[in-house]
């Protein structure tokens, strides 16, 4: 379970000695097994929030607790990082070695697991992301989506309870994005892994059951994805847009088509219309 | 265009030599260098030569790779040959073959030149066997293990190995980036081909600066990704692929020691040439 209490993070801008708050009093609670999506614009503080989750950044004030371990406690950092895996935006800058399977083994090697067990974890993680055929390949020969799957496998090999994707799909093409989204949805459903997906794309939020909207370092909206998509006007005020399907749904309702404002995916909307 | 570059000169194959422990290969290479320096009669170079050829045959590496490995140092070899031809004349009663002005070639200096040339060639051909049969990454692994005792004197063995690994990992990535930046600058009208050497060197600046900036950014992100993956230095770290000595490793080292012994004994028994 993740508990964030009144988290504030300030940094100095270079020119004037003004403090800028990247995070301005964020309080959140994320339960085990949730699939949460955090959306927001550039500069909304969503990536800064991700880096607080495993102690890469330390709060100016407030606390971040992962299973009741405070990220401020340096002796607990390694334990926290075993519980929470973060996949970053650029797949190229997360891969450490020149062979795929050795890269996946990097995490477990760091925490000192014996070699037979590492082997098992590496094989299993690669299978989970569907990359077992590429175990001996050189990472730089793979596509962006494949590299990102390797990065996810590298995290899975640590066997964390929580997986955070910090704009992990931003640099991928539509196919790569789909691959990654499918994998994390599966992990959430089948392995009951807590997934926190940070993104700028509202379309991706559809996969999550809970949606958190951030703006200027504050949590603006927090609730069930379906409910939040009912407030299209409010989202547009934060210059975020609802997914195309939701926009279409709202437009249909506005023009007198008698359907409920519940559908958020293509199939749901089609079913609604055929009723 | 850089997607298919190979690092070093590794020749992929599935031979017994390739499967040797990298530590064995490093050790045999050191023994080999010792063996070559033990040679002090020209005829004895036949032993390192036989060794190199037979290892290449076992490793299924085409023999032309010997030529390839010597090619980069051919000027050094030629230079050494000429230098020795004219300079190694300070022996008692030299047999002069040729004399003109201050230049003098003697029997002894010809002998010396051939000797030095053979030594250089066998040295380079033999040591390149290691890089031909070992991937850079397993070499790094082997070095890390071999140098492990130096940790006792606070020598940063693990850090060095990690730096090597990351460097090897990022060479293709950075090459790709150079390609991208070059094209971007060309599209903006940059000219890399005309002008004097100095002008051309200067025109590299618009490639190097973006490259450096991005390399630093990458380093920063990589550090964060590594930390997120529980990296905290070499302490308490384990390995998935643990290096293990096999019976073949023992044979390889025995062969090397045997060769050193043969060279020493034969030269004592046959002090000709």
Residue ranges per structural domain of chain B: 1-134+244-273, 140-242
Calpha distance B128→B107 (Å, rounded): 32
Residue B65 has a pLDDT of 85
What is the rounded CA–CA span in Å between residue B157 and residue B150? 7
Partners of residue B221 in chain A, C-beta under 8 Å: 88, 90, 93-94
A54 touches chain B (CB under 8 A): yes
Taking the CB of residue B245, how many other CB atoms lie within 10 A of it? 12
B180 CB near a chain A CB, below 8 Å? no
Per-residue pLDDT of chain B (273 residues; tens, 9 = 90+): 344 444 567 787 888 888 889 999 999 999 999 999 999 888 889 999 999 999 999 999 888 888 888 888 889 999 999 888 887 666 666 677 777 777 778 888 888 899 999 999 999 988 888 888 888 888 888 988 899 898 889 889 999 999 988 988 898 889 889 999 999 999 998 888 888 888 888 888 989 999 999 999 999 999 999 999 999 888 888 888 888 888 989 999 999 999 999 998 988 888 776
* Nearest CA-CA distance, residue B153 and chain A, Å: 23
Residues in B touching A139 (Cβ below 8 Å)? 169
Test B229 with A99 for CB contact under 8 angstroms. no
Judging contacts by C-beta atoms under 8 Å, the chain B residues touching residue A78 are 230, 232
Is the CB of A90 less than 8 angstroms away from the CB of B166?
no
Task: List CB contacts of B69: < 8 A, sequence separation 6 or more.
Answer: B9, B124, B125, B128, B132
Pairing of strands A2-12, A19-30: antiparallel
Q: How many helices (H) and strands (E) does chain A have?
A: 11, 10
Substitution target in B3, B218, B228 with the highest count of A β-carbons within 10 Å is B228
- Burial of A124 from C-beta contacts in 10 A (0-12 / 13-18 / 19+): middle
Question: What pLDDT, on a 0 to 100 scale, did the predictor assign at position B93?
Answer: 67
- Residues in B touching A158 (Cβ below 8 Å): 229-230
A66: part of which helix (H) or strand (E)?
strand A61-66
CB contact under 8 A, A92 and B242: no
DSSP state of B234: S
Per-residue confidence (pLDDT) for residue B3, from 0 to 100: 43
Mutate to test the interface with A, among B166, B179, B229, B234 (most CBs of A within 10 A): B229
Rounded CA separation A131/B235 (Å): 30
Q: C-alpha distances in angstroms, B269 versus B41, B220, B260, B263, B272?
A: 12, 63, 15, 10, 9
Give the C-alpha separation, A94 to A78, whole Å.
Answer: 18
CB A148 within 8 A of CB A172: yes
pLDDT of residue B220: 93
Whole-prediction pTM? 0.81
Low-confidence ranges of chain A (pLDDT < 50): none
Q: Does A141 touch chain B (CB under 8 A)?
A: yes
């Amino acid at each position: 379970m993740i508990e964030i209490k009144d988290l504030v993070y300030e940094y100095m801008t270079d020119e004037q000695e003004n403090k800028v708050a990247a995070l301005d009093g964020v309080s959140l609670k994320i339960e085990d097994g949730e699939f949460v999506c955090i959306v927001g614009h550039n500069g909304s503080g969503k990536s800064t929030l991700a880096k607080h989750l495993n102690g890469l950044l330390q709060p100016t004030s407030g606390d971040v607790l992962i299973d009741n371990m405070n990220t401020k406690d340096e002796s607990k950092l390694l334990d926290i990082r075993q519980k929470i895996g973060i996949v970053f935006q650029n797949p190229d800058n997360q891969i450490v070695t020149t062979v795929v399977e050795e890269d996946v083994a990097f995490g477990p090697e760091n925490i000192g697991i014996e070699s037979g067990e590492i082997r098992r974890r590496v094989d299993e993680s690669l299978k989970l992301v569907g990359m077992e055929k590429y175990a001996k390949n050189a990472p730089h020969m793979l596509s962006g989506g494949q590299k990102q799957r390797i990065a996810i496998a590298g995290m899975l090999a640590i066997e964390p309870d929580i997986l955070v994707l910090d704009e992990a799909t931003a640099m991928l093409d539509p196919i790569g994005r789909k691959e990654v989204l499918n994998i994390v949805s599966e992990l959430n459903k089948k392995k009951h892994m807590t997934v926190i997906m940070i993104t700028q794309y509202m379309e991706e939020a559809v996969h999550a059951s809970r949606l958190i909207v951030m703006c200027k370092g504050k949590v603006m909206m927090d609730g069930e994805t379906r409910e939040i998509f009912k407030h299209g006007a409010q989202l547009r005020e934060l210059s975020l847009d609802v997914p195309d399907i939701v926009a279409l749904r709202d437009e249909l309702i506005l023009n007198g088509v008698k359907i409920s404002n519940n559908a958020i995916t293509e199939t749901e909307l089609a079913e609604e219309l055929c009723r | 265009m850089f997607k298919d570059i190979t690092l070093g000169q590794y020749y992929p194959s599935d031979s017994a030599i390739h499967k040797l422990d990298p530590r064995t290969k490093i050790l045999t290479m050191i023994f080999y260098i010792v063996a070559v320096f033990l040679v002090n009669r020209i005829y004895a170079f036949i032993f390192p030569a036989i060794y190199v050829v037979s290892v290449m045959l076992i490793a299924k590496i085409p023999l032309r790779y010997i030529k390839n490995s010597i090619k980069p140092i051919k000027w050094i070899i030629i230079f050494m040959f000429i230098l020795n031809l004219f300079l190694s004349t300070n022996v008692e009663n030299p047999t002069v073959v040729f004399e003109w002005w201050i230049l003098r070639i003697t029997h002894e200096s010809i002998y010396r030149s051939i000797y030095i040339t053979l030594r250089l060639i066998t040295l380079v051909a033999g040591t390149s066997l290691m890089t031909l049969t070992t991937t850079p990454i397993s070499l790094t692994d082997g070095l890390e293990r071999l140098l492990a005792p130096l940790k006792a004197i606070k020598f940063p063995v693990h850090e060095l190995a990690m730096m090597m690994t990351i460097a090897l990992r990022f060479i293709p990535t950075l090459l790709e980036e150079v390609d991208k930046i070059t094209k971007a600058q060309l599209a903006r009208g940059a000219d890399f081909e005309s002008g004097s050497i100095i002008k051309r060197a200067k025109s590299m600046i618009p490639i190097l600066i973006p490259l450096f900036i991005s390399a630093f950014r990458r380093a920063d992100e990589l550090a964060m990704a590594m930390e997120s993956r529980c990296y905290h230095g070499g302490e308490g770290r384990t390995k998935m692929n643990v290096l293990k000595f096999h019976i073949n490793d023992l044979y390889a080292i025995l062969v090397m020691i045997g060769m050193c012994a043969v060279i020493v004994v034969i030269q004592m028994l046959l002090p000709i040439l």
